[in-house]
């Protein structure tokens, strides 16, 4: 079995793990990060796109609010290409508790979250679809953040610093020596080949899967999983992030991300990190709550629904089943101290906005163990620019209308304007890619037609470009993944879209499980 050794092994390729690996790289630490799937396949990629101002937590979790406010500013400097400065609003609807806004403003001042009451007429002029009978409105520093772009940026930066990121590698077991964790046996899921990675320290940043990883060292981590559903509306109904100014609950945010508006979220306790189902009531609830912010929103077309799993640290005894009541702030466990198993540190919980701070705090635990004295540099080291500006459709349209090198390239995905050269470049850049990776990289198939046309075209390009592609270029799996996100919204236009895709797939392409003639 091939073997290698490193100072730090990070398990998990979400914002937390990548943030830790990036922090370690900047301190000159040798690091290997393993991710069982692709970057952003877990909680970080399944979020609503909101870069918090902190306003959401000023009353429920004041320290988190302060952290958010500070990290929000830092992230805007470090990764400006991933953030759209939409600004944010906290609005009180007529039926919301009338005394809440004043308490909230006072808490904003105490926690250092900038919030300013704004004139309602001006707000409605800026956001004409908002409910005209709102009671009050406050402006905050929210923004929308493309987490796929941020994670890719982290990946690129880590690799440029000499760190290693291994995608589609799963930890099979942790290597133990004299009761201490000294590395892991890691399986390449594409080839089935195992590698022994010896490490001075292993960080478990596996998010919802952290419990499974810790169990490999015999540690029972008390983690509760809360599943949140989100719905993307097919158009950009607001240009500003809109939050309800009331105690946090289901369906109280509306986030403009790229071409869509995201409604979030619900909170359901689940047992498995892979339980990503979405119930009809969750969608109904999100739309009903959004109706308060944007009257008539249910008449707009819903594009897609998805859910993400929040891992939350819940030390026994459990206080209650509702996961939202648990603190959002993260927990760092040095298992040498907590369980007598040196060599393993787990980090649980947290939010995307504060991923950098979490990483810094984890490294404060890690560095003494590694005997490294170098200070944290993530707060003032911009992530390597990839040369890709914040994704906007008009930008791609401009490229097509005024190509540098005529004729204009073939457009493979019309909704998101993904071209053949874009796809070919992405295929060359990723190891063992599938169509879903291309989606995360390029937004392929994320528009209104949900891959009804581009899936087939892209599968053909995959077939021609890759060494060992699946026989259908990954088409059936990609269409199934799109189906999954449309299904919870299957009525009206979305059901028509669903049936349209299915008709093309089944009746023109023959992709069906129905019995066929001999």
Partner 1 sequence: MNDLVVVGEGLTGLFAAWLAAKRGARTTLIAYGRGGLELSSGCLHLASGASPRLGITSSRLPHPYALVGVGTVLRAIQALLDLLEASSLPYSGSLDTNMLLPTAAGETIAAAFAPHSLARSDLAEQGTMTIAALTGFRDFDAALASRRLAVRLERSIATLDLPLPGPAPRRDLYATDLARRFEDPQWREETCRAWKPQLIGVRKLGLPAVLGLRHHARVMQAIEEALELTAFEIPTLPPCVPGLRLETVLREACLAAGVDVLEGAKAVGRVDGRGSSARACGVVAMTAGGPQLYDAGAVLLATGDLLHGGLVAQQNGLIRESVFDLPVVHNPDRATWTSPHAADPQPYASFGVRVDASMHPLDDRGEPLLPNLYAAGGLLAGARRTDEGSRQGVALSTAWRAVEAAIP
Q: Minimum distance between the CB of residue 289 and partner 1, rounded to whole angstroms? A: 14
466 near partner 1, judged by CB under 8 A: no
456 near partner 1, judged by CB under 8 A: yes
What is the distance of C-alpha 27 from the center of its chain?
26
Let me know if 222 is exposed, middle or buried by CB neighbors in 10 A (0-12, 13-18, 19+).
middle
Place of tokens 């819903």: 302
Stretch that binds partner 1, among 108-116, 329-337, 341-349, 491-499 (CB under 8 A): 491-499
Instruction: Write out 122-149 in H/E/C secondary structure.
Output: HHHHHCCCCCCCCCEEEEECCEEECHHH
298 near partner 1, judged by CB under 8 A: yes
The correct pick among 221, 312, 333, 476 for binding partner 1 (CB under 8 A) is 476
Q: Minimum distance between the CB of residue 301 and partner 1, rounded to whole angstroms? A: 12
Stretch that binds partner 1, among 137-145, 189-197, 249-257, 468-476 (CB under 8 A): 468-476
The correct pick among 179, 218, 296, 500 for binding partner 1 (CB under 8 A) is 500
Q: Quick one: 180 or 298, whose CB is closer to partner 1?
A: 298
Q: Quick one: 99 or 401, whose CB is closer to partner 1?
A: 401
463 near partner 1, judged by CB under 8 A: yes
Q: Minimum distance between the CB of residue 416 and partner 1, rounded to whole angstroms? A: 15
Cα 430-213-429 angle, rounded to 5 deg = 5
- Please tell me what DSSP assigns to residue 195: E
CA Rg, the chain, in Å? 23
Q: Quick one: 213 or 426, whose CB is closer to partner 1?
A: 426
Contact 264, 227 (CB under 8 A): no
Place of tokens 């089943």: 321
390 near partner 1, judged by CB under 8 A: no
Q: Quick one: 135 or 511, whose CB is closer to partner 1?
A: 511
364 near partner 1, judged by CB under 8 A: no
Q: Which two tokens stand for residue 133?
A: 């009978």
Q: Quick one: 192 or 510, whose CB is closer to partner 1?
A: 510
Q: Minimum distance between the CB of residue 324 and partner 1, rounded to whole angstroms? A: 24
Contact 244, 264 (CB under 8 A): no
Q: How many residues bind partner 1 (CB under 8 A)?
A: 54
What mask of x and - would describe binding to partner 1 in positions 253 to 292, judged by CB under 8 A? --------------------------xx---x--x-----
Residue 198, strand partner residues: 5, 183
Stretch that binds partner 1, among 40-48, 325-333, 383-391, 486-494 (CB under 8 A): 486-494
460 near partner 1, judged by CB under 8 A: yes
76 near partner 1, judged by CB under 8 A: no
The correct pick among 411, 418, 421, 433 for binding partner 1 (CB under 8 A) is 411
Q: Quick one: 209 or 478, whose CB is closer to partner 1?
A: 478
- Cα 36 to Cα 13, 186, 187, 195, 390, distances in angstroms: 8, 9, 9, 14, 27
Stretch that binds partner 1, among 186-194, 257-265, 410-418, 435-443 (CB under 8 A): 410-418
Contact 3, 196 (CB under 8 A): yes
Q: Minimum distance between the CB of residue 298 and partner 1, rounded to whole angstroms? A: 6
- Cα 220 to Cα 332, 341, 425, 506, distances in angstroms: 15, 12, 44, 47
The correct pick among 85, 117, 193, 499 for binding partner 1 (CB under 8 A) is 499
517 near partner 1, judged by CB under 8 A: yes
342 near partner 1, judged by CB under 8 A: no
464 near partner 1, judged by CB under 8 A: yes
* Phi/psi of residue 192, nearest 5 degrees: 80, 0
Going by C-alpha positions, the residue among 13, 18, 40, 17 that lies closest to residue 439 is 40
> How many C-beta atoms lie closer than 10 Å to residue 166's C-beta?
17
Give the integer Cα–Cα distance in Å for 237 and 260: 8
- Cα 374 to Cα 205, 332, 360, 371, 378, distances in angstroms: 22, 20, 12, 9, 12
Binding residues (CB under 8 A) for partner 1: these are: 279-280, 284, 287, 298, 407-408, 410-412, 453, 456-457, 459-460, 463-464, 471-473, 475-476, 479-480, 482-484, 487, 490-492, 495-496, 498-518
């Amino acid at each position: 079995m091939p073997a290698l050794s490193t100072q730090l092994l990070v398990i998990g390729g979400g914002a937390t793990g990548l943030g830790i690996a990036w922090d370690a790289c900047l301190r000159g630490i040798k690091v290997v990060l393993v991710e069982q799937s692709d970057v952003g396949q877990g909680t970080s990629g399944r979020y609503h796109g909101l870069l918090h101002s902190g306003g959401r937590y000023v009353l429920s979790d004041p320290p988190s609010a302060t952290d958010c406010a500070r990290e929000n500013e830092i992230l805007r400097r470090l990764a400006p290409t991933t953030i759209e400065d939409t600004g944010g609003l906290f609005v009180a609807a007529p039926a919301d508790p009338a005394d809440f806004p004043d308490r909230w403003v006072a808490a904003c001042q105490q926690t250092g979250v900038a919030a300013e009451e704004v004139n309602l007429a001006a707000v409605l002029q800026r956001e004409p679809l908002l409910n005209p009978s709102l009671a009050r409105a406050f402006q905050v520093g929210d923004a929308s953040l493309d987490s796929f772009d941020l994670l890719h940026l982290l990946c690129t930066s880590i690799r440029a610093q000499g760190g290693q990121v291994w995608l589609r590698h799963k930890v099979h077991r942790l290597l133990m020596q004299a009761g201490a964790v000294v590395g892991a046996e890691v399986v390449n899921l594409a080839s089935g080949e195992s590698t022994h990675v010896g490490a001075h320290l292993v960080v478990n940043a596996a998010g919802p899967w952290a419990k499974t990883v810790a169990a490999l060292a015999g540690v029972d981590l008390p983690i509760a999983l809360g599943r949140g559903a989100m719905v993307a509306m097919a158009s950009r109904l607001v240009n500003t992030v809109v939050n309800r100014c009331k105690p946090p609950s289901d369906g109280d945010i509306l986030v403009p991300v790229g071409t869509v508006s995201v409604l979030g979220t619900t909170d359901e306790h689940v047992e498995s990190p892979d339980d990503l189902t979405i119930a009809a009531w969750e969608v109904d609830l999100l739309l009903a709550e959004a109706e308060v912010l944007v009257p008539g929103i249910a008449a707009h077309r819903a594009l897609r629904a998805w859910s993400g799993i929040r891992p939350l640290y819940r030390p026994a005894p459990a206080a209650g089943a509702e996961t939202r009541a648990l603190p959002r702030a993260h927990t760092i466990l040095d298992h040498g101290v907590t369980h007598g198993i040196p060599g393993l540190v787990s980090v649980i919980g947290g939010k995307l906005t504060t991923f950098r701070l979490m990483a810094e705090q984890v490294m404060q635990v890690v560095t003494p163990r590694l005997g490294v004295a170098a200070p944290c540099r993530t707060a003032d080291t911009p992530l390597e620019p990839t040369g890709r500006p914040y994704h906007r459709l008009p930008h791609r349209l401009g490229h097509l209308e005024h190509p540098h090198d005529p004729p204009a390239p073939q457009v493979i995905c019309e909704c998101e304007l993904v071209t053949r050269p874009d796809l070919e470049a992405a295929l060359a850049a990723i190891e063992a890619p599938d169509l879903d990776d291309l989606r995360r990289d390029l937004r392929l198939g994320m528009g209104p037609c949900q891959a009804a046309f581009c899936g087939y075209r892209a599968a053909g390009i995959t077939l021609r470009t890759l060494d060992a592609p699946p026989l259908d270029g990954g088409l059936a799996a990609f269409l199934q993944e799109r189906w999954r996100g449309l299904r919870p919204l299957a009525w009206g236009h979305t059901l028509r879209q669903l049936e349209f895709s299915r008709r093309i797939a089944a009746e023109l392409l023959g992709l069906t499980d129905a019995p066929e003639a001999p």
